[in-house]
């Protein structure tokens, strides 16, 4: 009985200690250092603690990063702003060597595929040290900023270490949004990283809803509504409403994606981008095709129908492919991807059933028409 109680107590204690390490406000440094301000950075399991003297420009920082394997961690200030994010960043870097000792140094970032080479910063750096314990690396440093500095553009990052040498970091979602503007005096964070993350989510939701859901439904309405004897203007108006609203929302999502691409010059999802541009061009062509369609008795009506149908189905196919490419980039919760997969499966099953029913009705009507007396 006593052993069970002891085990439960140890488990609860470990959970408490691990949970307390996840927030900066109640963190106690083993070196007895005290920092007056801190912020839980929005991604990569990272935290920033600092003391700042605005009159002298002395910024004392402790950058904490949780990780399970040996990797390098870096925190930087970019005096050039956040438009370039990495390029021009003045970084302090640390990682654990294979002999167990820590290496801490400065690095000035000059390319997106950087391996964090050692180099001097434009700021004076002192008291640069690092520790690694309990799956957490902490980088300590004091930077000399221009006096009366109130805000900084900060960047933080982590990457692999091979043979005691840092390698280039990946371009997964968290690695591309780890930057933001921080007010050193008011502790207000501009949350640029969270804003970009929300923009990516908005981009994904808008395009999934428009190109990936509403537009295929609109195509099915145009294809199968006539089988159930919808009046000609009725099904056509529903089809136009579905496709037009999907196009408007889709263009908004497409524009958000283009803005994200222009703001994130350090990473480019080339295939996703090319497909998005192609879908936009073909979708715009379809909208104009609805406006400029020839009358039913026009000699080019048949050719217009072939072109309109072919491009329409191509847009749906490319949109579905690009949506799954977007899921691979954003890596959302599996629930969202599984829900969309379920929708696609249900749509495909419905299309197969409706197509079979359409041909059944068509053949029955043709047979009835053939049996009807002529004249």
**Rounded Cα distance, 149 and 357, in Å:** 72
- Containing 191, the helix (H) or strand (E) segment is none
- CATH value at residue 90: 2.60.40.1210
Judgement on whether residues 245 and 186 belong to the same structural domain of the protein: no
How many other CB atoms sit within 10 Å of the CB of residue 319? 24
Average pLDDT over residues 36-40: 87
Q: Which residues contact 343 (CB under 8 A, 6 or more apart)?
A: 213
Q: For residue 60, what pLDDT is reported?
A: 94
Question: What pLDDT, on the 0 to 100 scale, is given for residue 15?
Answer: 37
Distance CA 131, CA 115 (A): 21
pLDDT tens profile 334-354: 888 889 999 999 999 998 998
Predicted TM-score of the model (pTM): 0.52
Beta strands of the chain (E only): which ranges?
Answer: 37-40, 46-53, 58-66, 71-77, 90-96, 102-108, 124-133, 136-144, 151-162, 165-166, 179-183
Residue with token string 């203007």: 233
Q: Would 13 be classed as within a structural domain?
A: no
Site of tokens 């021009």: 88
Higher pLDDT pick, 214 / 173: 214
- 126-135 average pLDDT score: 92
Q: Are residues 167 and 119 in the same domain?
A: yes
Domain assignment present for residue 1? The answer is no
pLDDT in tens, 75-129: 999 988 755 567 888 999 999 999 989 999 999 988 777 788 899 999 999 999 9
Q: Please give the mean pLDDT across all residues of the chain.
A: 81
Angle, helices 334-371 vs 215-224, to 10°: value is: 10
- pLDDT computed for residue 372 by the predictor: 63
Which residues carry a binding-site annotation?
Answer: 203, 239, 272, 308
In a domain, 222, yes or no: yes
Please indicate, yes or no, whether residues 243 and 185 belong to a single structural domain of this protein.
no
Give the 3-state secondary structure of residue 142. strand
The span from the CA of 57 to the CA of 265, in Å, is 31
Residue 163 and residue 220 in one domain: no
Query: Is the CB of residue 350 less than 8 Å from the CB of residue 367?
Result: no
Residue 6 lies in a domain: no
Kindly state whether residues 178 and 200 are assigned to the same domain: no
pLDDT at 9 over 70: no
Pair 180, 263 in one domain: no
Q: What is the C-alpha separation between 116 and 114, in angstroms, rounded? A: 5
Domain boundary residue, one of 125, 155, 190: 190
- Residue 1, SS3? coil
Domain end point (choices 190, 214, 242): 190
**How many domains does the chain contain in total?**
2
Rg of the chain in Å (alpha carbons): 29
Q: How confident is the model at residue 130 (pLDDT cuts 50, 70, 90)?
A: very high
Which residue numbers belong to the known binding site for heme b? Answer: 203, 239, 272, 308
| Residue 264, CA distances (Å) to 10, 112, 155, 175 in order | 46, 11, 14, 11
User: pLDDT category, 366, cuts 50, 70, 90?
Assistant: confident
Copy the structure tokens of residue 241.
């409403």
Same-domain check for residues 160 and 203: no
Residues 6+ apart with CB under 8 A from 347: 216, 217, 220
Whether residue 121 sits in one domain with residue 217: no
Average pLDDT of span 327-338: 80
Report how far Cα 62 is from the mean position of its chain's Cα atoms.
28
Domain of residue 291, CATH code: 1.20.120.1770
Residue 321: domain span: 195-365
Please tell me whether residues 343 and 297 are part of one structural domain: yes
Please list the residues that pair with 185 across neighbouring strands: none
| 3 in any annotated domain | no
| CA dist 47 → 6, 137, 190, 192, 282 (Å) | 32, 11, 15, 16, 45
Whether residue 169 is found in the same domain as residue 201? no
Out of 190, 208, 231, pick the residue that ends a domain.
Answer: 190
């Amino acid at each position: 009985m006593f052993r069970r109680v002891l085990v439960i107590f140890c488990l609860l204690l470990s959970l408490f200690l691990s949970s307390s390490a996840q927030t900066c406000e109640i963190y106690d440094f083993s070196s007895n250092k005290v920092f007056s301000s801190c912020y839980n950075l929005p991604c990569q399991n990272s935290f920033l603690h600092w003391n700042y003297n605005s009159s002298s420009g002395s910024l004392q920082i402790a950058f904490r990063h949780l990780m399970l394997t040996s990797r390098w961690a870096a925190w930087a200030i970019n005096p050039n702003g956040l438009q370039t994010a990495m390029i021009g960043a003045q970084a302090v870097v640390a990682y654990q060597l294979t002999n167990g000792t820590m290496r801490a140094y400065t690095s000035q970032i000059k390319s997106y595929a950087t391996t964090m080479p050692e180099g001097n910063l434009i700021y004076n750096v002192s008291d640069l040290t690092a520790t690694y314990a309990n799956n957490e690396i902490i980088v300590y440093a004091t930077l000399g900023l221009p006096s009366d500095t109130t805000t900084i553009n900060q960047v933080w990052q982590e990457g692999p270490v091979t043979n005691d040498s840092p390698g280039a970091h990946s371009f997964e979602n968290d690695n591309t949004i780890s930057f933001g503007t921080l007010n050193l005096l008011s502790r207000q964070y501009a949350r640029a990283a969270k804003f970009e993350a929300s923009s990516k989510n908005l981009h994904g939701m808008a395009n999934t809803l428009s190109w990936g859901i509403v537009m295929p439904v609109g195509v099915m309405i145009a294809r199968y509504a006539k089988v159930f004897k919808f009046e000609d203007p009725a099904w056509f108006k529903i089809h136009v409403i579905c496709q037009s609203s999907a196009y408007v929302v889709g263009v908004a999502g497409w524009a958000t994606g283009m803005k994200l691409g222009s703001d994130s010059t350090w990473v480019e999802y080339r295939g996703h981008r090319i497909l998005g541009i192609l879908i936009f061009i073909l979708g715009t062509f379809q909208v104009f095709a609805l406006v400029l369609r020839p009358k039913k008795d026009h000699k080019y009506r048949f050719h217009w129908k072939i072109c309109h149908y072919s491009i329409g189905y191509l847009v749906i196919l490319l949109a579905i492919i690009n949506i799954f490419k977007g899921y691979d980039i954003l890596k959302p919760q599996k629930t969202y991807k599984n829900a969309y997969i379920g929708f696609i499966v249900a749509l495909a099953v419905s299309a197969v059933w409706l197509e079979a029913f359409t041909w059944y009705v068509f053949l029955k009507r043709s047979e009835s028409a053939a049996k009807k007396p002529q004249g």
